[in-house]
């Protein structure tokens, strides 16, 4: 290897972009970390000098380079992302290795590894040299394959399991097109130069082909110029594009592994989540408002973009969401977008809590087990009756906390951003629970169950009735037979994805019915469309979502569709002819 | 004989004081408000209505008549539980109607609803 040049003006566009992006990133990371609360900064500091940093490094490798979570969703999509990210990473690493091996005195020139083949030439072919050339060409081929797939994805995204993709804005487009241009231009530049500097199967091969009909010598510098301009433009466009996810996701992974969680404000961690969104659009297909009600533009990816750019009606966008958590489940970056939306909703609390003075004085209920049916159960009284039968059969000393209708748990208000008003209900209900001396609170509605667990600080355990029934059966307090019915279980959002209760209902159902599998269960469970998380969705749109979910769930024609949420039951009952029952009702049937 | 209810006092609507502005704004924000037939299913199922004479049907009537003086404070009694939406035979998005009524009758609107 021999050095031909040390500098050429064509490195300037690259260097301009490179210096700019380094300054921007350093400033960005400093300001992001300064935004974190003091305790989080301490956690971050501690985690950097602990084993956690290795966990983070591994996760960064697996997610940012290999894109494991995307692979799990769709292999082609994962391959596309991996080819570009990992291929590019290899090009950078191998480029630096080349510089260290052949001209260690140039390691302080950031542009040297990028334009290595222009500055260096192969004088005698060695095994080491040809191996590196081969690896570099292989990495380049990998990236080019990824870009080819990305181009094809623009035409036919279904090949990669995506029905809909994100509609990009100008900044994203500029950055994306320049990123796509970088690698073919690199191939051209290296091919034209391959007669002088040498190359491997790809660059030398293309070089020979080009030689047969153009003068490679004359095209060398224009091609390197183009390559440098494309790289520089990409770096300049990066801050206004989705490609900020590359550095932001790495930071997010480090913070998450340090034990830092999203808070009740979007500053700090939330902001880093915003920048970590790559606008890949996986959440668009996951969202049932988009899949069933054609509200593609109301999906999380667009909300995230509006929030990051602070444009458009962000509050309206935050409200147009069922808060079912399907997008959070699908997100390959692990962004808790429901939390981001809730924080936007919270900012506009406007009910004056004094209006709840009408609440009756707390009457003391003394009991062992307190049962909170919830508003929605009062609307579907069959569930409450079934639970009372089960309590009676098990011989439990129980009392209803909301006999004939009680005070709402507060979650619907909370989801509407009225946290101060919700606090009044939390206080009132807590009062009733504490005065009862109960050892256990059982809730029938997952909406209530979630808020009891998360926002009430209760000294007693809270169970959803599916968990309680499982416990009763295990204890032998209730004996059940088999109904002989075939059943599909629908995971209510607030019980499954949002609270992590997946197994108890299945354990119970397996004993009393023939539980059938569906492809929409556990984390992939569907939303019935009835969610109290969304106040703006029209009745018609809700019906579309409910019908679509019902259709997907009952493809195998089960005798009954079983759910564990009164709201899901009511919503599905109105969406079709399928018999829908709550798990408590099925258990009562099996007890007879 | 006591039937548990009686004839309402007759009332007259003062057209000088009544304004259709709020009804128009609520209708524009939540068009399903228009199809209310005042059947009262919402009040029959209302969680708040069990404790206090809170009544969405009455709010609807007051807004449509333009008698909106007491409507704002009244709307805040709602717990937003959403039973009325599920029960409404006309498929009205009652929660959004309530939020809209509350908002457009506010002395100084706090929320920018378009």
ipTM field = 0.87
Same domain, yes or no: A358 and A342: no
Interface probe for B, chosen from A408, A429, A451 (most Cβ of B below 10 Å), is A408
Q: Which residue of A has its CA nearest to B106?
A: A350
**Which residues of B fall within a CB distance of 8 Å from A360?**
51
Q: What is the pTM of this model?
A: 0.93
The residue whose two tokens read 């397996």 is A510
Q: What is the pLDDT of residues B17-61, one digit of tens each?
A: 777 889 999 999 999 999 999 999 999 999 999 999 899 999 999
Please check whether residues A266 and A242 belong to one and the same domain: no
The C-alpha angle B40, A422, B107, rounded to 5 degrees, equals 70
Mutation site, A345, A403, A412, interface B, largest B CB count within 10 A = A412
Who among A313, A405, A412 is closest to B80 (CB)? Answer: A412
CATH of the domain at A446: 3.40.50.1860
Is residue A76 in some structural domain? yes
For tokens 């590359």, the residue is: A246
Q: How far is B93 from chain A (nearest CA, A)?
A: 6
Domain contains A254: no
Whether B100 and B32 have beta carbons less than 8 Å apart is answered as no
Q: Are the beta carbons of B86 and A571 separated by less than 8 Å?
A: yes
3-state secondary structure labels for all residues of A254-284: HHHHCCCCCCCCCCCHHHHHHHHCCCCCHHH
Interface test with A, best of B46, B83, B92 (most A CBs within 10 A): B83
Residue B2 lies in a domain: no
Residue (of A518, A502, A494, A368) closest to A437 by Cα position = A368
What is the SS3 assignment for B101? helix
Q: Which residue of B has its CA nearest to A350?
A: B110
A333 shares its domain with A268:
yes
Distance from CA of B55 to the nearest CA of A (A): 14
Distance from the A163 Cα atom to the nearest Cα atom in chain B, whole angstroms:
30
Q: Which of A322, A346, A351, A352 to mutate to test the interface with B (most CBs of B within 10 A)?
A: A351
Which CATH number does the domain housing residue B49 bear? 1.10.1060.10
A419, closest residue in chain B (CA to CA): B79
Asked if residue A389 is part of any domain, the answer here is yes
* A9 part of contact set with chain B, CB < 8 Å: no
Q: Which has the closest alpha carbon to A501: A489, A516, A517?
A: A489
Chain B partners of A571 at a C-beta cutoff of 8 Å? 86
Give how many domains chain B has, as a whole number.
1
Instruction: Give the gap in angstroms from C-alpha B36 to the nearest C-alpha of chain A.
Output: 14
Which strands sit side by side in the sheet containing A462-464, from one edge to the other? A398-400, A369-372, A440-443, A462-464
Q: Is the Cβ pair B93, A407 closer than 8 Å?
A: no
Contacting residues of A for B79, CB less than 8 Å apart = 356, 375, 407-408, 410, 412-413, 425
Contact B107/A at CB under 8 A: no
pLDDT at B114: 44
User: Residue B110 above 60 pLDDT?
Assistant: no
Chain B residues 49-88 with a CB less than 8 Å from chain A: 50-52, 54, 73, 76-77, 79-83, 85-87
Q: Which domain holds residue A145?
A: 2-247
Which DSSP state fits A395? T
Distance of CA A357 to CAs A361, A425, B46, B51, B74, Å?
Answer: 10, 11, 17, 10, 12
Tens digits of residue pLDDT in B9-26: 877 777 777 778 899 999
Hey, of B33, B85, B93, which one would you mutate to test binding to chain A, going by the most A CBs within 10 A of its CB? Answer: B93
Does residue B29 fall inside a structural domain?
yes
Per-residue pLDDT tens over the stretch A563-576: 999 999 999 998 98
Å between B12 CA and nearest CA of chain A:
29
- Tell me which of A346, A376, A405 is where a domain ends: A346
Angle at A40 between CA A37 and CA A45, to 5 degrees: 125
Chain A residues within an 8 Å CB radius of B111: 315, 348, 350
Helix, strand counts (H, E) of chain B:
6, 0
The two beta strands, A369-372 and A120-121, are: unpaired
* H helix runs in A36-74, sequence order: 38-48, 52-59, 68-73
Chain A residue numbers with beta carbons less than 8 Å from the beta carbon of B103 are 350
pLDDT of the residue at A347: 63
A377 interfaces chain B, CB cutoff of 8 Å: no
Close Cβ partners of A141 (under 8 Å, ≥ 6 residues apart):
A87, A202
Q: Give the orientation angle of helix A337-346 with respect to helix A300-309, to 10 degrees.
A: 60
Is B33 part of a structural domain of the chain? yes
User: Are residue A202 and residue A301 in the same domain, yes or no?
Assistant: no
Helix, strand, coil in percent for chain A, rounding step 5: 60, 5, 35
Does some domain include residue B113?
no
What is the model's pLDDT at position A356?
85
Q: Is residue B7 part of a domain?
A: no
Which of A406, A536, A570 has the CB atom closest to B96's CB atom?
Answer: A536
pLDDT at B12: 74
Asked whether the beta carbons of A578 and A572 are under 8 A apart, the reply is: yes
Q: B84: domain range?
A: 21-104
Same domain, A510 and A559: yes
Is B47 inside any structural domain?
yes
Q: What is the CATH number of the domain that holds A296?
A: 1.10.1060.10
Same domain, A464 and A563: no
Q: Is residue B28 part of a domain?
A: yes
Q: Does A277 lie in the same domain as A186?
A: no
Closest CA to A138 of A69, A72, A86, A209: A86
In which residue ranges of chain A is pLDDT below 50? none
Sign of the C-alpha dihedral computed for residues A418, A422, A424 and A425 taken in this order: positive
Alpha carbon of B3: minimum distance to chain A alpha carbons (Å) = 23
Q: Do B82 and A532 touch (CB under 8 A)?
A: yes
Give the number of domains in chain A. Answer: 4
Residues A239 and A314 in one domain: no
Instruction: Give the nearest partner residue to A412 out of B50, B73, B82, using CB atoms.
Output: B82
Could you tell me if A133 and A235 lie in one domain? Answer: yes
Measure the CA–CA gap between A89 and A233, rounded to whole angstroms. Answer: 19
Q: Are residues A212 and A229 in the same domain?
A: yes
Domain match, A121 and A207 both: yes
B72 interaction partners in chain A (CB closer than 8 Å): none
Nearest-CA distance A543 → chain B (Å)? 10
Q: Are residues A43 and A132 in the same domain?
A: yes
List chain B residues with CB under 8 Å of A567. 82, 86
């Amino acid at each position: 290897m021999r050095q031909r040049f040390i500098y050429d003006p064509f490195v300037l566009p690259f260097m301009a972009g490179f210096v700019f992006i380094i300054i921007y990133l350093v400033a960005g990371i400093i300001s992001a970390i300064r935004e974190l609360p003091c305790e989080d900064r301490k956690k971050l500091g501690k985690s950097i000098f602990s084993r956690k940093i290795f966990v983070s490094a591994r996760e960064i490798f697996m997610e940012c380079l290999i894109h494991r979570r995307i692979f799990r969703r769709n292999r082609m999509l994962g391959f596309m992302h991996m080819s570009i990210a990992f291929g590019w990473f290899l090009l950078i690493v191998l480029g630096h290795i080349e510089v260290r091996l052949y001209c260690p005195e140039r390691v302080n020139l950031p542009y040297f590894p990028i334009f290595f083949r222009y500055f260096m030439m192969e004088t005698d072919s060695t095994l080491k040299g040809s191996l590196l050339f081969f690896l570099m060409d292989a990495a380049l081929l990998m990236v080019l394959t990824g870009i080819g797939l990305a181009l094809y994805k623009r035409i036919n995204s279904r090949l990669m399991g995506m029905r809909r993709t994100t509609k990009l804005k100008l900044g994203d487009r500029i950055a994306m097109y320049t990123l796509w241009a970088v690698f073919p231009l690199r191939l051209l530049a290296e091919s034209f130069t391959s007669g002088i500097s040498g190359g491997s199967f790809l660059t030398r091969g293309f070089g020979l082909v080009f030689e047969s009909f153009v003068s490679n010598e004359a095209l060398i510098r224009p091609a390197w110029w183009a390559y440098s301009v494309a790289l520089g433009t990409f770096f300049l466009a990066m801050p206004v594009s989705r490609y900020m996810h590359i550095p932001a996701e790495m930071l997010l992974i480090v913070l998450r592994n340090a034990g830092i969680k999203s808070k009740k404000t979007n500053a700090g961690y939330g902001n880093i989540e915003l920048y970590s969104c790559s606008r890949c659009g996986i959440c668009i297909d996951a969202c049932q408002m988009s899949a069933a009600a054609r509200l593609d533009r109301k999906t999380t990816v667009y909300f995230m973009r509006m929030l990051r750019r602070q444009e458009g009606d962000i509050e309206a966008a935050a409200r147009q969401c069922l808060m079912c958590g399907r997008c959070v489940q699908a997100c390959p970056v692990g962004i808790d977008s429901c939390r981001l939306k809730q924080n936007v909703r919270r900012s506009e609390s406007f009910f004056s809590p004094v209006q709840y003075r009408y609440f009756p004085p707390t009457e003391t209920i003394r009991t062992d087990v307190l049962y909170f049916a919830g508003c929605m159960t009062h609307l579907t009284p069959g569930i409450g009756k079934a639970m009372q039968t089960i309590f009676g059969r098990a011989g439990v000393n129980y009392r209803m906390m909301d006999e004939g209708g009680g005070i709402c748990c507060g979650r619907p208000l909370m989801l509407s951003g009225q946290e101060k008003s919700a606090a009044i209900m939390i206080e009132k209900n807590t009062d009733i629970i504490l005065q009862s001396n109960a050892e256990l609170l059982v809730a029938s509605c997952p909406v209530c169950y979630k808020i009891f667990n998360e926002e009430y600080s209760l000294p007693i355990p809270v169970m959803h009735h599916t968990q309680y029934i499982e416990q009763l059966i295990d204890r032998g307090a209730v004996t059940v037979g088999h109904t002989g019915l075939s059943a599909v279980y629908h995971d209510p959002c607030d019980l499954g994805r949002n609270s992590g209760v997946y197994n108890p209902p299945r354990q119970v159902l397996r004993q009393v019915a023939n539980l059938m599998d569906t492809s929409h269960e556990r984390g992939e469970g569907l939303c019935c469309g009835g969610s109290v998380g969304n106040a703006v969705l029209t009745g018609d749109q809700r019906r579309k979502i409910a019908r679509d979910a019902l259709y997907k769930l009952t493809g195998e024609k089960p005798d009954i569709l079983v759910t564990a949420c009164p709201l899901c039951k009511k919503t599905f009952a109105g969406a079709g002819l399928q018999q829908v029952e709550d798990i408590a009702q099925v258990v009562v049937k099996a007890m007879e | 004989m006591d039937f548990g209810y009686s004839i309402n006092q007759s009332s007259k609507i003062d057209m000088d004081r009544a304004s259709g502005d709020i009804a128009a704004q609520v209708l524009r924000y939540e068009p399903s408000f228009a199809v209310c037939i005042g059947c009262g299913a919402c009040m029959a199922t209302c969680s708040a209505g069990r404790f206090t004479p809170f009544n969405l049907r009455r709010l609807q009537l007051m807004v449509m008549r333009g008698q909106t003086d007491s409507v704002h404070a009244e709307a805040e009694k709602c717990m937003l539980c959403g039973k009325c939406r599920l029960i409404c035979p006309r498929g009205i998005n009652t929660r959004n109607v309530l939020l809209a009524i509350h908002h457009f009758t506010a002395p100084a609107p706090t929320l920018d609803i378009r």
